[in-house]
């Protein structure tokens, strides 16, 4: 994840500092860490957020304290990406976002250890039939991602039954994750995170920030933080975020690294809409991203 980026000036010192904040060796995890190490959500979450924030810094889009509001930029994240989004909107500092992410990751890892659970993507099928099948097996629609993708989460036996007998015209893809995120299985993590945010003094967003809860723009920093806590056990409605961005008339979208999944969803959901979508995957993509930011809407 990090190797290509470490050639940029200041990258190594940034990730060492981020690792100190997160109490994890992010440099090693992001370069030589194996699949088993990266699967640990306690370290994956701060690594992902730190990586996104470093690249945001390279693009010059981390707001300065007291920066004037901008309405020509729309920001959203997916799940843990909402902490990156909160920093890009000026609600949290980059340091606060990394520290809170690390606490979130550790709390969710502890919740995952209590009961074996998992997640599976359901691709295609009739939306109503998909949701009915998920409910029938005692699972939860943890992510409503748009583009015909719903992520089911819950007990492993329920996920196995879903894969064995999927809804008509649907394909089931088990996900390599530690547990059933965004469900009641994460209740202990939500409690832990609620205690962690008490000392924060969030600023109100200086850029339009869309919430995973319902795709609406949130103008209160306190409400953003409240939703960062509640989303641990609530479904991610990325479909609603995509719908809001389309309604707002965005002309270009940049997905910060590790990039690809959300850009793919947007491309399928907005097919033919004429929106340029860039998955910023390597340093070679930075110049095009800067050009798009120069004319962002």
With CA atoms as reference, report the closest residue to 141 among 110, 103, 170, 102: 170
Tens of pLDDT along 115-163?
Answer: 999 999 999 999 999 999 999 999 999 999 998 999 999 999 999 999 9
With CA atoms as reference, report the closest residue to 89 among 107, 105, 77: 77
Residues 6 or more apart whose CB falls under 8 angstroms from that of 55 comprise 5, 256, 257, 280, 286
Per-residue pLDDT at 71: 77
**Assigned architecture for domain 114-174:** 2-Layer Sandwich (3.30)
For residue 272, pLDDT beyond 90: no
Q: What is the pTM of this model?
A: 0.94
Per-residue pLDDT at 295: 60
**Residue 234 annotated in active site:** no
Per-residue pLDDT at 169: 96
**Residue 182 annotated in active site:** yes
On the CB side of 115, CA atoms within 13 Å amount to: 15
Exposed e or buried b for every residue in 23-33, given b needs 16+ CB within 10 A? ebbbbebbeeb
On the CB side of 284, CA atoms within 13 Å amount to: 1
Cα 55 from chain centre? 15
Strands (E), the chain: 70-75, 117-124, 140-146, 149-155, 170-174, 207-209, 252-255, 276-279
For residue 297, pLDDT beyond 80: no
- What are the structure tokens assigned to 82, written together? 């909402």
Cβ pair 124, 148 in contact under 8 A: yes
Which candidate in 78, 182, 211, 234 is catalytic?
A: 182
Q: Where are the domains of the chain?
A: 59-108+183-294, 114-174
Which candidate in 79, 211, 234, 240 is catalytic?
A: 79
Tens of pLDDT along 229-260?
Answer: 999 999 999 999 999 999 999 999 999 999 99
Segment 276-287 shows an average pLDDT of 96
The topology under which CATH files domain 59-108+183-294 is: Malonyl-Coenzyme A Acyl Carrier Protein; domain 2 (3.40.366)
Tens of pLDDT along 52-97?
Answer: 999 999 999 998 776 777 778 999 999 999 999 999 999 999 999 9
């Amino acid at each position: 994840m990090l190797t290509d980026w470490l050639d940029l000036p200041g990258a190594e010192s940034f990730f060492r500092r981020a690792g100190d904040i997160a109490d994890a060796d992010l440099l090693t995890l992001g370069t030589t860490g194996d699949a088993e190490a990266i699967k640990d959500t306690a370290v994956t979450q701060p690594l992902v957020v730190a990586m996104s924030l470093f690249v945001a810094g390279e693009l010059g889009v981390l707001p300065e304290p007291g920066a004037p509001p901008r309405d020509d930029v729309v920001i959203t994240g997916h799940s843990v990406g909402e902490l990156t989004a909160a920093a890009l909107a000026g609600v949290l500092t980059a340091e606060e976002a990394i520290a809170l992410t690390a606490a979130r990751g550790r709390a969710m890892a502890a919740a995952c250890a209590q009961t074996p659970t998992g997640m599976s993507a359901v691709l295609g099928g009739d939306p109503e039939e998909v949701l009915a099948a998920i409910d029938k097996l005692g699972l939860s629609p943890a992510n409503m991602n748009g583009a015909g993708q719903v992520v089911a989460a819950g007990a492993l036996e329920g996920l196995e039954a879903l894969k064995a007998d999927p809804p008509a015209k649907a394909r089931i893809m088990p996900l390599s994750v530690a547990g059933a995120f965004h469900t009641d299985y994460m209740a202990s993590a939500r409690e832990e995170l609620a205690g962690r945010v008490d000392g924060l003094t969030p600023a109100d967003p200086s850029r339009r920030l869309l919430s995973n809860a319902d795709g609406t723009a949130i103008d209160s920093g306190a409400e953003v933080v409240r939703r960062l806590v509640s989303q641990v056990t609530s479904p991610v409605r990325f479909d609603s975020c995509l719908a809001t961005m389309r309604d707002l008339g965005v002309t270009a979208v940049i997905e910060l690294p590790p990039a690809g999944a959300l850009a793919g969803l947007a491309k399928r959901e907005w097919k033919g809409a004429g929106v340029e979508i860039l998955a910023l995957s390597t340093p070679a993509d930075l110049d095009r991203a800067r050009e798009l930011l120069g004319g962002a809407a």
